Structure formats: structure tokens, C-alpha cells
Chain A
Amino acid sequence: MNTHLKIRADLLKAIREDLDRPHCFARERVGFVFANLSRLGEGALMILARIYATVDDKDYIDDPNVGAMMGPAAIRKALQLAYQTRTAALHVHMHGHAGRPAFSGIDLRENAKFVPNFFNVAPRVAHGAVVLSRNSAAGQLWLKASAPPIVISRFSAIGAPLGLNGVFQ
């Protein structure tokens, strides 16, 4: 099944600007995109981004082994927002290069640990994780807490000009 993540280009720009800000001890920042879903007939599962929630400075844990480690408050706030809005939650972070990014081994391990928890509060929708680069993206999507994730197959940034087919800015 194809999956297609769409986001307004102005929202995507705001996300990149937020993730680019330095933090006092974390080497990178993270955040959450909340999205509605749609699927028509046999078509692709559309993931339509609505809002972005930044992770507060105080909600990071100082862990020198990883670029950024969220504390329990960050996860709790994201779970709360997913519950209140009944939306798909996508964890987002950014690698500072251009071109197609990839999750690191640590990313994959951590995503698998916490993303399935979102099904406890919002079981009607999918949840996942996205890694951005300066102009592209890659993502994983869980359709069920107990099943392995699938790859988000397409990304589109809805701005002028449209960011399609691998250009995500």
C-alpha cells in the first residue's frame, strides 16, 4: 500500500526552523507533527499534516549517547495532543544535509520503542516517525502497534512551486 505525506510548505519551513535552533545540551531537536488521514477506494493512505508541536527545552534529557533524548514529559504532552485531536502523531527530527536522509540505527530502535504507545490513546489512526534533511525526507508508519512499520512512500510540500517527487521543501 502506498502512503503519501502532505504538508503545507509554510508549516514545513517553520518545522525546519524550529529543529535548527540550538539547544543548551542536546545536539539536535525533535518535535511532533499531527495529521489527519484519508484513504479513498484502493488509493494511497494520505497523511495530511495539520499542526506541529515543538518539544520544550526543559523536556529533553541530557544523554551524550544520542543527539536528542526526550524526557517523559515530552512524550506525555505528545500523547495528550494525539488523544485530544484524534490525529496521527509523527515524531520528527532533522539531519543537517541535503538529499534523501535515512534513520540511524538508534532512531529505528527508539522509534520502535515509543511510537506504538500512541495507539493506546489514538487507535483509529496510524503513527510514525519522519526524518527530514534540508530538502527531502524519509519516514516510517505504524498501521498497528503490534505490526512492523511500513515506509512512507511519498512526500509532498504544498507550496509554490510544489515540492514533489523527492523535493520536500
Chain B
Amino acid sequence: MTRFSRQSFLGVGSDEKLTNATIGVVGLGGGGSHVIQQLAHLGIGGTVLVDPDIVEISNLNRLVGATPVDVAVKRQKVEVASRAVLSLNPLARCRALQDKWQEVTDALAECDVIIGAVDSYIERNELEAFCRRLMIPYIDMGMDVHSLGEEHVIGGQVILSFPGGPCLWCLGYLNDRKLTQEAERYGDAGAKPQVVWPNGVLASLAVGLAVQLLTPWGRRPVVAAYLEFDGNQHTVANSNRLKVMIDRPCQHYPADQVGDPLFDLRLDPVTASQAEPAAVPSRVVRLRTLWSSLLRRFRRVSR
């Protein structure tokens, strides 16, 4: 028996595929903390962990792995996350980046899959656009609690946004109205209600999708998913919207609109330095250097 022998059904070479993969997790609060625990158990070799925040007392009801000591010492959420990864997998390639994800895009660009557990529609929109531009599959997860009369309704979703396939806009999850309303409420959002178990369900679905992308486990390849979680009924269902949109090409991120259309190699300092061939000294220069060296030695000896 090995550590991973009970997940060998994931397919031939799956251990190696998971070890070689790098997954970015943006947002390490309630949802993201569940995700990184599972990635570490699975043996995902590379993680890029991004969150600008520190652990606060109000996080402890759902931030898996965080303790009151982390609150007391104002520990970074990325530190809690990397601690969880490295305690299970000391050889993991774990980059913990306490910053806004927009500031560490070079690290995220190297990821094979990115899982977003961010709070706002605006951030989701930007993160999906970033992933589409770099052809990175993006798995979005989020939960919400809202009051409906006397009752509190728990809902959530996990969406796989795959290059070329339906995006968050195609699936109706993002629209101008939501973004506008959120922008108007900016700075006035207040504390959103959150609990631990729906995050666990949604994180498990997100990790399941990531594993399906990385290993030959699923016989039917999944290139799009919109899973809706009903926290009151304890059910997960495929969204009807996905059934309608699955075979339509994405109009928002056409498959050929990738990369940076304004990229200019000549203005890129790193690329420019690479393009210069190493200077090979000419024969004359080599002879002159040799002659100078001999002359210096001769002067030293004659003194």
C-alpha cells in the first residue's frame, strides 16, 4: 500500500499527473481553505495560494485549519493555507502570496487550473477574463445566504469555465445588472452571512472537477459545468442554463481571442536580453587579453 494506492482508480499515471500539476487558489477564506486541504490530500504537487487578508475572529466559524492562535498573532490566510499543504505534503511546490491576485498574475499564469473562491461578481469577472486570456480552465465557486421572508436560504454554485466553452456570462451567472448593483454598493457590503458546511460541499465539487481535468478518471470528459447547490434541500443539480448553452460557442471570449494583442517583444526587457546572443570574443580580443595578462605577470616577476 502506498499513500495514494486507494485513489489509483483515477487512471494510469494519475499520481504523476497530480504531482506535476499546479493549481491556483484565489481566496483562502471559507471556500478556499476547504479546497487546499483536499488538494493537499490528493497529492497536487504545485499550488499558488493567493489572499491579501489575515485571519480574523469572525473567520473561525468556517476557515478550515485556522485556530484562535492564528487570530491572536494576526497570521496571514496564505500562511494558514500553506501550513496545511506542507504539513501533508512537505515536498509540495507551494507559493503563498499575500496580495491581491491582480498583483501576482505572473505566478497565476503558470497554473494549469485556477479555482476562484472570491466574494464579488466584479472579481469573478476579472479573474475569468484573465484565465480566458491565458487559456487556463477556471473553476468558480461561491455561496450565498439570503433571507426570504422568515426563512434563510442557502444557495451556491460551482461553474467550470473552460477555454472556448460557455463562460460565466453565457451561463447567466454574470450580467451587467449584477455588476452595476455591486459597484453601487461598493464599500457598503457589510458582513455577508457564511457557514462552514455549504463551503465544504462546494469545495468538494470544485476539486472533483479539477481532478477530472487532470486525470483520465472520467470516461466522458467534462469541459463545462454549472452545478447549483440548494443548501436548504441539500441537493446539487445541473443548471438548466448549461443544458441550453453547452454546445454554443462563447460569444464573450471567442476561442481565438487569447494572449495580449498589444504585446511587443521589442519592448519586453527580459525577452530582449534573451534574444541577444552571448558575445563571443574575437580572436584579436582574445590575443590582446592574453598579451596583457602575460605582460602583468612579467612586470610582477621583474619587480
What total of A-B pairs shows CB separation below 8 Å?
121
Q: Determine if B207 is an interface residue (Cβ-Cβ < 8 Å).
A: no
Sort A-B residue pairs by CB-CB distance and give the 5 closest, nearest first.
A36-B259, A41-B106, A160-B221, A143-B275, A144-B275
Across the interface, do B213 and A37 meet the contact criterion of CB distance under 8 Å? no
Residue positions of A touching B, CB distance < 8 A? 1, 6, 8, 10-11, 35-46, 48-51, 86, 123-126, 143-144, 147-148, 150, 156, 158-162, 164-165
Assembled-state Cα–Cα distance A143/B265 (Å): 7
Given A160-B213, A161-B221: A39 and B162 interface contact (C-beta under 8 Å): no
Across the interface, do A158 and B277 meet the contact criterion of CB distance under 8 Å? no
A39 — which chain B residues lie within 8 A by C-beta?
260, 263, 268, 270-271
Assembled-state Cα–Cα distance A40/B131 (Å): 13
Across the interface, do A147 and B212 meet the contact criterion of CB distance under 8 Å? no
Q: Is the interface of A mostly helix, strand, loop or mixed?
A: loop
Across the interface, do A161 and B259 meet the contact criterion of CB distance under 8 Å? no
A11 — which chain B residues lie within 8 A by C-beta?
255
Interface residues of B, CB < 8 Å — how many?
Answer: 46
Across the interface, do B270 and A48 meet the contact criterion of CB distance under 8 Å? no
Assembled-state Cα–Cα distance A6/B277 (Å): 26
CB distance from B24 to the nearest CB of A (A): 13
Assembled-state Cα–Cα distance A41/B137 (Å): 21
Other-chain contact of B214, A51, A86, A161 (Cβ < 8 Å)? A161
Given A41-B106, A43-B110: A10 and B164 interface contact (C-beta under 8 Å): yes
Across the interface, do A125 and B263 meet the contact criterion of CB distance under 8 Å? yes
Across the interface, do A42 and B106 meet the contact criterion of CB distance under 8 Å? yes
Across the interface, do B258 and A36 meet the contact criterion of CB distance under 8 Å? yes
Given A10-B164, A39-B271, A143-B271: A158 and B137 interface contact (C-beta under 8 Å): yes
Other-chain contact of A37, B137, B162, B260, B277 (Cβ < 8 Å)? B260
Across the interface, do B271 and A45 meet the contact criterion of CB distance under 8 Å? yes
Assembled-state Cα–Cα distance A158/B109 (Å): 14
Assembled-state Cα–Cα distance A42/B266 (Å): 16
Given A38-B263, A39-B271, A48-B135: A159 and B221 interface contact (C-beta under 8 Å): yes
A161 — which chain B residues lie within 8 A by C-beta?
17, 212-216, 218, 221
Given A36-B260, A165-B17: A124 and B105 interface contact (C-beta under 8 Å): no
CB distance from B74 to the nearest CB of A (A): 28
Assembled-state Cα–Cα distance A51/B255 (Å): 9
B275 — which chain A residues lie within 8 A by C-beta?
143-144, 147
Given A38-B263, A148-B277: A1 and B221 interface contact (C-beta under 8 Å): no
B16 — which chain A residues lie within 8 A by C-beta?
165
Q: Determine if B20 is an interface residue (Cβ-Cβ < 8 Å).
A: yes
Across the interface, do A164 and B17 meet the contact criterion of CB distance under 8 Å? yes
Given A43-B106, A124-B266, A160-B222: A150 and B261 interface contact (C-beta under 8 Å): no
CB distance from B125 to the nearest CB of A (A): 19
19 pairs across A/B with beta carbons < 8 Å?
A1-B270, A8-B163, A36-B263, A37-B263, A39-B270, A50-B257, A50-B259, A124-B266, A126-B265, A144-B275, A144-B276, A147-B275, A148-B277, A156-B135, A158-B163, A160-B218, A161-B218, A164-B20, A164-B112
Across the interface, do A162 and B134 meet the contact criterion of CB distance under 8 Å? no
Assembled-state Cα–Cα distance A35/B36 (Å): 33
Assembled-state Cα–Cα distance A123/B40 (Å): 44
Assembled-state Cα–Cα distance A148/B276 (Å): 9
* Chain A, Cβ-Cβ closest to B261: A36
